[in-house]
Amino acid sequence: MDVSQSILDDDRHEPRPERPDPLSVDSPIGMATRRLDVALRIWDEDRAQARSQIKVAVAILQSGAGEPPTQERQLGRVTRHLVPWQVRKVREFIDASLDSNIRLQDCATRIRLSTGHFSRAFKATFGTTVLDYIHQRRIERAQHLMLLSEQTSSEIALSCGFADQAHYCRVFRAMVGLSPNAWRRRNMLLAPNDQPGSCGASQGHGPPAEKASAGRPGRP
């Protein structure tokens, strides 16, 4: 008897696998329950992460196929989420490094993951890529500086880790829908004057300060 025939004969005598228990830890209900349990434990400490866990639990239950949702499949395995201490570490590192070049390898090393595993786990946890998250945090810092400082657009671009002012303008407009100067004027009663050549300064975004003030009614 050849080897292949022997394997076939052995397979015929093996008992058929039992039907999976719908409440087992590997079932959709079991996986969703674990996500909800994590969300409850970390709700007071990290509500953003807790909400992410709840969304994943809902997606698992809605899939109805006994598999995690499509965005969580990776070569047939479930993409693991970052645990709370990893979320805290990577957030702290990114926020502390916004004014410099942030490498994917540096982020992954700090939470003891490979770059590939880190990228997948990060997206599963935050719902966005590492690069988009870094851009979002840089734009939020830029908005903070625009409202609370008199730095020019070029100074803010460097303070927030952008390669140059043009890069800062492109990312800001893509994420906010306005140029940095237009956003600044809209959100401040009196915005500091940017130097010539700043983002949007010569592109006609809004009236000049002199014209804007000329139309205001005078005091009686």
List the chain pLDDT tens, one digit each, 220 residues.
444 444 444 444 444 444 444 444 456 677 778 778 888 888 888 878 878 778 777 777 765 444 444 444 443 445 589 999 999 999 999 999 999 999 999 999 999 999 999 999 999 999 999 999 999 999 999 999 999 988 999 999 999 999 999 999 999 999 999 999 999 988 875 444 444 455 654 444 444 444 334 444 444 4
Model pLDDT, residue 199: 62
Model pLDDT, residue 180: 93
* Residues 175 and 139 sit within 8 Å (Cβ to Cβ): yes
Quote the pTM value: 0.54
Q: Give whole-number Cα distances, 34 to 69, 173, 188, in Å.
A: 15, 40, 46
Q: Measured between alpha carbons, how far is 65 from 22 in angstroms, rounded to an integer?
A: 12
